[in-house]
Amino acid sequence: MSGAGTLSGRVKARRAGALQGVVHAPGDKSISHRALILGAMAEGISHVDSLLEGDDVLRTAAAMRALGVEIERENGRWRIAGAAWRQPEKSLYFGNSGTGARLVMGAVAGKQIAATFDGDASLRARPMGRVLEPLRMMGLEASDMDGRLPVEFIGGERLTAVDCKLAKPSAQVKSAILLAALGAQGTTRLHEPVLSRDHTERMLSAFGVKLKVEADDAVGRFIEIAGGQKLKACNISVPGDPSSAAFLTAAALITPGSDIVIENVLVNPLRAGFYETLKEMGANILFENKREAGGEPIADIRARHSVLSGVEVPADRAPSMVDEYPILAIVAAYAHGETKMTGLEELRIKESDRISAIEKGLAACGVDVRSGEDWLAVRGAASVRGGAKVSTHSDHRIAMSFLVCGLNSEEPVEIDDASMIATSFPGFVDVMRSLGGDLEIP
Ligand code: S3P
């Protein structure tokens, strides 16, 4: 695997000056995983441009190869020769990636293949029952470690369509069911009371799959998908990841004199909760040159230093910004007044317990922060003392958040381990430096 080894150990961020320039965010992680998986399931050759070449996505590529699919990188493009999948010889290892593990589980279940799924210590601690439960309802036979990895699929059982309601808004669970449904007998009907990111639905349509989506503001969305449909190869261009662009945007907002543009970022409304919240805080951000590419809305994001005020972030916004709370907490520390974030129960079971990691890190930087089981409140004082060594708990988003925090704190902020940044944003340090950020690798 490339990436994780490129940046390891401590990194220190210190105040330098205004951030200026035009940059790109890396390819969207959610779309990158889906492009590899759907391309591998399709008949024919698919090409993918601007794939995120972070560790999480490279693990999914490795899993597809282990399932018998040819995937090559050719002149910066990825070429996927879809094929009938075969049983892997070794266990499928997903490293740190919940998305990879959960989506591939759904796809493998629909193909009646025996396989073992595994991951690193963090992924082994995360719940898999949320995916296994609906797949078992469809007929999957699998053994697991009390709802955790490693999970072993027995293989051979043809799945049957289900009619089910998602207990929690989770695009990973929804996607696993949709991918399994493609290999099931009958038509699966899925009710999603609270909407989650819809990249799987959009991309399945691009691959020629027919799904019926009925939306109703009051009760959410119903998705119907008939089993046995074939996917036809197609070409995908992956837009920039709004969850990665969030760190660049935040850095510009909190650093006086800054004015940056991040080109070609996905602005799907189901991923835009962070930007909506920033606007409510008074942020000077614009979505410029809005356009469509590959069935997704994209834009260039312009972000300038702003005087920000604390806000209440409603619980129902969580699905559209679930990965952005760590960096929002940093922005909140630089705002005037309190920002209260609620509905955060899922943050406890991400790559780390993010509520706890943010609270400890901010407190160490001298910020007034409180938390409860599913909420976090940050009282901003428009400036941050810093001067702390922050533990990232091997979580890429905690690592990047506290490096951004150090870009304008009175004293530098150091993180204990930057290696996991490669899971989602391999060029983070270089991009920040190109904008003028002072990040030192001691
Ligand atoms: C993702 C869905 C979200 C998100 C994750 C990516 C996806 O997880 O946190 O980073 O690509 O479907 P949940 O489905 O658990 O909310």
Query: CB of 172 closer than 6 A to ligand 1?
Result: yes
Cβ pair 333, 380 in contact under 8 A: yes
* pLDDT > 80? residue 7: no
Distance of CA 290 to the CA centre of its chain: 22
Q: What is the pTM of this model?
A: 0.97
Instruction: Tell how far the Cα of 17 is from the centroid of ligand 1, in angstroms.
Output: 34
Nearest ligand 1 atom to the CA of 200 is 12
What radius of gyration do the chain's Cα atoms show?
Answer: 21
417 is catalytic: no
Instruction: Tell how far the Cα of 302 is from the centroid of ligand 1, in angstroms.
Output: 26
Residue 6 pLDDT level (bands cut at 50, 70, 90)? low
- Residue 138's closest CA among 102, 167, 112? 112
* Three-state secondary-structure class, residue 315: helix
- Residue 350's closest CA among 342, 338, 358? 358
* pLDDT > 90? residue 145: yes
* pLDDT > 90? residue 1: no
- Selected catalytic residue, list 28, 323, 395, 417: 323
Sketch the domain layout of the chain as residue ranges: 11-28+239-440, 29-236
* pLDDT > 70? residue 389: yes
Q: What is the mean pLDDT of residues 89-100?
A: 98
Query: CB of 400 closer than 6 A to ligand 1?
Result: no
Nearest ligand 1 atom to the CA of 174 is 14
Cβ pair 82, 42 in contact under 8 A: yes
pLDDT, tens only, 272-298: 999 999 999 999 999 999 999 888 999
* pLDDT > 60? residue 5: no
Give the Å distances, CA to CA, from 144 to 89, 133, 147, 203. Answer: 19, 11, 6, 30
Residue 2 pLDDT level (bands cut at 50, 70, 90)? very low
Q: What is the mean pLDDT of residues 436-441?
A: 97
pLDDT, tens only, 314-341: 999 999 999 999 999 999 999 999 999 9
Which DSSP state fits 158? P
What integer best gives the mean pLDDT of the chain? Answer: 96
pLDDT at 217 (0 to 100): 81
Pocket test for ligand 1, best of 30, 194, 243 (most atoms within 8 A of CB): 30
29-236 CATH, one of 3.30.2270.10, 1.10.1020.10, 2.30.130.60, 3.65.10.10? 3.65.10.10
Rounded to whole angstroms, the Cα distance separating 393 from 358 reads 10
Nearest ligand 1 atom to the CA of 29 is 11
* pLDDT > 90? residue 435: yes
Question: Residues of the chain with pLDDT > 70: what percent?
Answer: 99
The residue length of the chain stands at: 442
- Residue 407's closest CA among 21, 15, 138? 15
CATH class belonging to 11-28+239-440: alpha beta
pLDDT, tens only, 211-224: 999 988 889 999 99
Q: What is the mean pLDDT of residues 185-201?
A: 97
Instruction: Tell how far the Cα of 172 is from the centroid of ligand 1, in angstroms.
Output: 5
pLDDT at 216 (0 to 100): 83
Query: CB of 323 closer than 6 A to ligand 1?
Result: yes
pLDDT at 386 (0 to 100): 98
Query: CB of 30 closer than 6 A to ligand 1?
Result: yes
Give the Å distances, CA to CA, from 40 to 44, 67, 97, 364. Answer: 9, 9, 18, 46
Q: What is the mean pLDDT of residues 228-252?
A: 98
